Structure formats: structure tokens, C-alpha cells
Amino acid sequence: MKYSELKPKQQEFVQWLFDAGHQDEDNTMFQRGYLKTVANTNGMAWAPAWLVKDTNRVSKRGFYNVPELADLVREMAGSADEEDALISRMQNETDRESEVSPVNSQVESPAETAAA
């Protein structure tokens, strides 16, 4: 399942894992006890059932795979790249606007203009 397909509460738990420092898309395997610790830290009594009761997520006894975390990591990296690109474009535009364009150094005074 993809991160975007999760229910809001499920996405929230995956976000908690991300916020806890798990930002490597290759490391999405967690022990049940750790999942419970993350849940406890965020006000839940137990690790979410959608993770620990799903036999397809078990890699070995007590270890659960959360592939949706990899999706979130990629999503966050993509938005950071897009944000960096936008900031760079804005800085380039500002630099171009602030460059002094060559101006004719000879400026006529209003009196000279009237005399001509």
C-alpha cells in the first residue's frame, strides 16, 4: 500500500516514525516494542493494529515492515527539492531585477529640455 492510500490516522503514525528520525527509505523495518514506544510517545496505548496484526508485514518474529514510510521519505525529499528549486528561481529573478542596467549618463535638466 502507498502512503497516500492510508487513512488519516495511519498516515499520522507513519509521520510520527518520520518525525522520530526514520528518514531513510531503505530502513522501514521496526520491532514491535519500538512501534509501541512511538505510539506511547504520541498518546496511544499500543502499536497500531493495522501494523502489528497484518501478517503480511511480519518479516521475522517481532519485526514489522512499514513500506509506506519509504513513500513518505520520497515525498518529503521531492517537496524539499521542489521548494529549493522555487527558492533558487526567485533568487535569480531578484538578482536580475536588482542588476543596474546601463543608463545614459548624460541627463538633461528641465531647463535644457525647455531650451531645446
Tell me the pLDDT tens digit for each residue of 50-109: 999 999 999 999 999 999 999 999 988 886 566 566 666 777 777 767 665 555 556 666
Phi then psi for residue 42, to 5 deg, are -105, 20
* Coil vs helix vs strand at 71: helix
Residue with the three cell numbers 518479516: 59
* DSSP annotation of 56: G
CA pair distance 14, 64, nearest whole angstrom: 13
Write down the pLDDT at residue 78: 81
Write down the pLDDT at residue 91: 74
Task: Please give the model's pTM, rounded to 2 decimal places.
Answer: 0.68
Total structural domains within the chain: 1
Is residue 33, in this structure, part of any structural domain at all? yes
Is residue 99, in this structure, part of any structural domain at all? no
Write down the pLDDT at residue 113: 61
Is residue 10, in this structure, part of any structural domain at all? yes
C-alpha angle 77/78/82, rounded to 5°?
120
Write down the pLDDT at residue 108: 62
Phi then psi for residue 39, to 5 deg, are -60, -45
CA pair distance 16, 20, nearest whole angstrom: 6
Write down the pLDDT at residue 27: 94
Is residue 107, in this structure, part of any structural domain at all? no
Is residue 110, in this structure, part of any structural domain at all? no
Is residue 13, in this structure, part of any structural domain at all? yes
Q: Say which residue, 106 or 28, is predicted with more confidence.
A: 28
Is residue 30, in this structure, part of any structural domain at all? yes
Write down the pLDDT at residue 104: 55
Is residue 67, in this structure, part of any structural domain at all? yes
Structural domain that includes position 33: 3-89
Write down the pLDDT at residue 79: 63
Nearest alpha carbon to residue 71 among 19, 30, 14: 14
